[in-house]
Amino acid sequence: MVSDVINTSELHKVDPVFGQLSFDNHEQVVFCNDKDTGLKAIIGIHNTVLGPALGGTRMWQYKNEWEALNDVLRLSRGMTFKSAITGLNLGGGKAVIIGDAKTQKTPELMKRFGEFVHSLSGRYITAEDIGMETSDMDLVRDVTPYVTGISESRGGAGNPSPITAYGVFMGMKAAAKYKFGSDVLEDKTVYVQGIGHVGEALVEHLSNEGAKIIIADINEERLQQVSKAYGAEIYRGSDIYSEDMDIYAPCALGATVNDESIHKLKAQVIAGAANNQLEDEIKHGAMLRDRGIAYAPDFLINAGGIINVYAELEGYGKAEIMRKTENIYNTTLEIFKHSDTHNLTTHFSALNIAVDRIEARKKEAKK
């Protein structure tokens, strides 16, 4: 009998959903299962106060379901704050599909996933994330209107990466203004770690500005291409964090700002596209502040992508997308000011401002 194997006094330690640290007051978590297509997905709807929960779908071969659940909750919560700080009328949500996108993704599976999204009647709107292509979003669009990031021929806003890169560039300039007194990056040494879709477009902006650019990636072919196209130097060392640099731009993986790297970092500014750069948002945010390193919060400066897909919902054009993305400069400067005034890390300043916006909207709605 089940009761023989489960020690009920231990249950509080293994609360699977509400008790997860990353649960953090999610409104709704939806588990989607379809035997025929093999679909196993989780949709997290963190908050819908400002609008429908919008966030991408990630397909990943998680080690286990706990890892998948934790990932979707963490990402969905992050979307709430990203949209709120950016001034968009969107809530936060995210979805994960458990499986290998290369071998297990089929059109049938994507459409079945779309049907689950549709069953939420617009409370959650999906988009692309890791393991997804525009063509997958087109398949989802066949069964539900609650999807963004579809192809331009079907009314989509197109590739978000150049917009994301522009926002990161704006955030970087604002951080430079705060730290160095000028937002001109001409004489600055910038390490761009990860020169994928966003990283390459960021390198282009930096190159136009005349910065000294050093690029790092695990993909040698891309290194050669980007180096040639923009005159960037390829990093050949083994410990990027110890190098002399003014600005560190993480554009590959999350959690690169951690106990180990912070002690070595010589950069005075961190501004990049990667999500969840701080391994521990409390501890590592504080360590950066103590060391006087100006950290431009990732979820604020990489919001260009969400601004781009929001345009699909609101029907505004490229000029407005660029205006909103450019405004990341002003918001980043405000965050630095707010963090000094309130003696907070920049990460928590940005979070607090986002939460204030949500709370104000809640109050308004009650009137």
Q: Which of residues 165-194 bind ligand NAD (CB under 6 A)?
A: 193-194
181 is in an annotated binding site: no
Nearer to ligand NAD, 240 or 269 (CB): 240
Closest CA to 343 of 355, 352, 330: 352
Q: Using CB atoms, what's the residue nearest to ligand NAD?
A: 196
231 is in an annotated binding site: no
Which span sits near ligand NAD by CB under 6 A: 44-52, 212-220, 262-270, 282-290? Answer: 212-220
57 membership: H or E segment, kind and range: strand 57-60
In angstroms, the CA 325 to CA 166 distance is 7
Least distance to ligand NAD from the beta carbon of 233, Å?
A: 15
Q: Which of residues 90-129 bind ligand NAD (CB under 6 A)?
A: none
Find the catalytic residue in 40, 94, 179, 188: 94
Q: Which of residues 297-356 bind ligand NAD (CB under 6 A)?
A: 302, 305
Q: Which of residues 269-298 bind ligand NAD (CB under 6 A)?
A: 273-275
Least distance to ligand NAD from the beta carbon of 29, Å?
A: 22
In angstroms, the CA 81 to CA 72 distance is 15
Query: Is residue 164 within the footprint of ligand NAD (CB under 6 A)?
Result: yes
Residue 35 annotated as catalytic? no
Q: Which two tokens stand for residue 184?
A: 């001109």
DSSP H helical ranges for the chain: 2-5, 65-86, 107-119, 134-141, 161-180, 197-209, 220-230, 259-264, 283-290, 298-301, 304-314, 318-326, 328-342, 346-366
195 is in an annotated binding site: yes
Q: Which two tokens stand for residue 7?
A: 């020690």
3-state secondary structure of 174: helix
Query: Of 52, 92, 114, 199, which lies in the binding site for ligand NAD, with binding defined by CB under 6 A?
Result: 199
Nearer to ligand NAD, 76 or 112 (CB): 76
158 is in an annotated binding site: no
Closest CA to 345 of 303, 302, 295, 299: 295
Q: Which of residues 235-264 bind ligand NAD (CB under 6 A)?
A: 251-253
Least distance to ligand NAD from the beta carbon of 114, Å?
A: 21
Considering only CA atoms, give the Rg of the chain: 21
Helix 161-180 with 197-209: angle, nearest 10 deg: 50
Least distance to ligand NAD from the beta carbon of 275, Å?
A: 4
Least distance to ligand NAD from the beta carbon of 11, Å?
A: 35
Nearer to ligand NAD, 174 or 344 (CB): 174
Number of residues counted as binding ligand NAD (CB under 6 A): 23
Closest CA to 114 of 149, 143, 152: 143
Which region holds residue 122: left if phi is over 0, alpha if psi is between -120 and 50, else beta? left
Question: Tokens 């988009």 sit at which residue?
Answer: 127
Closest CA to 167 of 338, 296, 257: 296
Least distance to ligand NAD from the beta carbon of 72, Å?
A: 14
Query: Of 43, 95, 120, 198, which lies in the binding site for ligand NAD, with binding defined by CB under 6 A?
Result: 198
What φ, ψ does residue 184 adopt, rounded to 5°?
Answer: -80, 125
Q: Which of residues 215-234 bind ligand NAD (CB under 6 A)?
A: 216-219, 222
Report the binding-site residues for NAD(+): 194-199
Residues in touch with ligand NAD (CB under 6 A) = 160-161, 164, 193-199, 216-219, 222, 251-253, 273-275, 302, 305
Residues labelled as active-site residues? 94
